[in-house]
Amino acid sequence: MPKVVTLALKEVKLSVRDVGAMVTMLVTPLVLTMAIAAAFGTGTGGLSNVPLLVLNQDDGQMSRFVWEALTAQNVEDLLAAEMVYDEADARARVEGDAAAALVIIPRGFSDRVVPVVGRVREVLGIDLLSLDAESAEALPEEVQEEIGRLVLESREPDADAVVVEIYASPNWRISAGVVRGIVTQVLEQMSMTAQGTTIIIEELIARGAPGPEAGEGGAEWFPGVADGGFESLADRELPVRVEIVSPTGRGFRWLDYSATSMAILFLMFAVTAGGRTLLAERQAGTLSRLLVSPTPAVAILAGKMGGIVVTGLMQVLVLWGATTLVGSYWGAPLGVVAAIVVLVLCASGVGALISAWAQDVGQAGTIGTAVTLVGSAVSGTFFPRWNLPAWVQNLSLATPNAWGIEIFSALQMGRGLDGILPLLGGALGLTILYYVVALIGFRRQFA
């Protein structure tokens, strides 16, 4: 038994002293858990105080309902809505990321939601939205007849739908999606209100007084009522639709985001695995034979890393083509090619860094896996990057994953090569830093 205990303790000590093993066992799962908690909250947090601008160009009652819904008590912690009056200034604030989105309620909004309501209020001074069955029954017959006339005048089945536009910043995708969901829900509630109002109107029409061309009553004055053929507003789609647009003209698609982020993830796996070949050759003794040959050490390193870069380029280019066939969009081709080249160079720098400082192949493998998973988590590979707090997003810029997601997201939102040049410059700067630190480690190995 003492021998068993001794051997067991030895294995525990070896594991504890193995940096790569400790990173894999403890650091990686802890960081992954913290990143997911930061992205999705701990159950008590989440999105809050999303800056929202509202431009109301309509003076009707329905547009006021929208504003009241966006500032209601049940969403006051979620949205920080502000009424604005200058459209150009509001759009500029969204483009500058000072606000997540701008909701534009167009002129004629209220009249298009329930067209007859405004007309009846204007002519008769009656608010149809406040009527119930009992109060409607008490209306004089001549008023019922006049309402029927106004219904016919107000029905425009072929009219174009009025559009509520949500002008959303591409850097506030999740928040913009929340805003759209709330606005859509408000419109659905309006649809229910319109349907209830329509039922009352139809009852008034069915019981309406005789018109000048019909001596028998409302059924002849309003054809189709007697046989139930009246085309109810409740049977028609709400003549309002929501459109979400961004300054770049493109919206967020999960397929596009996943295609590029997963390509970067598996690129990282490939380059960290490829970088271990130097350690393998050192352990096998072939690296020392190369070093005593007339070939300079720099040439040996350049050749090894060059092979890794070419392999990485081939891998990502194939993934680009394959995912495009299933419908993903990576961006303008010239920008995509430039991004792939820069990101493969940057990722290969991580592989060189690990190979330069790891003690052996096994340690390099565990560290490479841990670095890849942690970098993917904190950069937003497994979930939208914009879910993460700003400080995590900034911290993650120490990884190729974060730069790749930022670059491809910009391309997918419609930017061209000139629009991603600052991001490419940042990734190249990180690449140089990786290789400088790796070179110090290689000099130590070759000394």
Q: What is the pLDDT of residues 304-319, one digit of tens each?
A: 777 788 888 998 999 9
Beta bridge partners of 82: 53
Distances (CA, A) of 80 to 45, 186, 301, 313: 16, 17, 55, 45
pLDDT at 134 over 90: no
What is the pairing mode between strands 101-105 and 162-168? antiparallel
38-42, 168-172, 284-288, 342-346: which has the highest mean pLDDT?
342-346
**Which is more confident, 401 or 149?**
401
pLDDT value at residue 70: 86
Does 366 lie in the same domain as 418? Answer: yes
Q: How far is CA 94 from the centre of its chain?
A: 16
255-269, 351-365, 423-437: which has the highest mean pLDDT?
423-437
Q: Is 439 exposed, middle or buried (0-12, 13-18, 19+ CB in 10 A)?
A: middle
> Would 135 be classed as within a structural domain?
yes
Does 192 lie in the same domain as 113? Answer: yes
Does 162 lie in the same domain as 262? Answer: no
Number of domains in the chain: 2
pLDDT value at residue 130: 67
**Other Cβ atoms closer than 10 A to 357:** 17
| Range of weakest confidence among 117-126, 127-136, 205-214, 402-411 | 205-214
Average pLDDT, the chain: 74
Does 119 lie in the same domain as 96? Answer: yes
Domain end among 187, 214, 245 = 245
Average pLDDT of 349-373?
A: 81
Please spell the DSSP secondary structure of 378-421, one letter per residue. Answer: HHTSSS-GGGS-HHHHHHGGGSHHHHHHHHHHHHHTT--TGGGH
pLDDT value at residue 429: 95
pLDDT at 375 over 50: yes
What is the pairing mode between strands 240-245 and 79-84? unpaired
> Would 42 be classed as within a structural domain?
no
pLDDT at 323 over 80: yes
CB of 416 closer than 8 Å to CB of 267: no
> Would 345 be classed as within a structural domain?
yes
Does 434 lie in the same domain as 327? Answer: yes
Does 416 lie in the same domain as 274? Answer: yes
Does 100 lie in the same domain as 156? Answer: yes
Does 265 lie in the same domain as 241? Answer: no
Range of the domain at 88: 50-245
> Would 62 be classed as within a structural domain?
yes
Domain end among 245, 268, 300 = 245
- Of 370, 335, 317, which is closest to residue 32 (Cα–Cα)? 370
At 62, the amino acid letter reads M
pLDDT value at residue 221: 37
Domain end among 245, 276, 295 = 245
Average pLDDT of 389-406?
A: 90
Look at residue 117 and give its three-state secondary structure. Answer: helix
CB of 345 closer than 8 Å to CB of 431: yes
Look at residue 427 and give its three-state secondary structure. Answer: helix
Average pLDDT of 385-414?
A: 87
**CA-to-CA distance for 379 and 366, rounded, in angstroms?**
20
> Would 279 be classed as within a structural domain?
yes
Percentages of the chain per state (helix, strand, coil), in multiples of 5: 70, 5, 25
Does 437 lie in the same domain as 312? Answer: yes
> Would 17 be classed as within a structural domain?
no
**CA-to-CA distance for 34 and 393, rounded, in angstroms?**
13
Q: What is the pTM of this model?
A: 0.61
| Strands across the sheet containing 50-56 | 79-84, 50-56, 101-105, 162-168, 240-245
Q: Residue 352 is encoded by which pair of tokens?
A: 């060189």
Does 343 lie in the same domain as 234? Answer: no
- Of 423, 264, 416, 235, which is closest to residue 350 (Cα–Cα)? 264
> Would 20 be classed as within a structural domain?
no
Give the phi and the psi of residue 76 in degrees, each rounded to 5: -65, -25
> Would 12 be classed as within a structural domain?
no
pLDDT at 151 over 70: no
pLDDT value at residue 1: 57
pLDDT value at residue 372: 87
Does 236 lie in the same domain as 271? Answer: no
Does 118 lie in the same domain as 227? Answer: yes
CB of 124 closer than 8 Å to CB of 184: no
Q: Which residue has the tokens 């904190």?
A: 378
pLDDT value at residue 360: 75
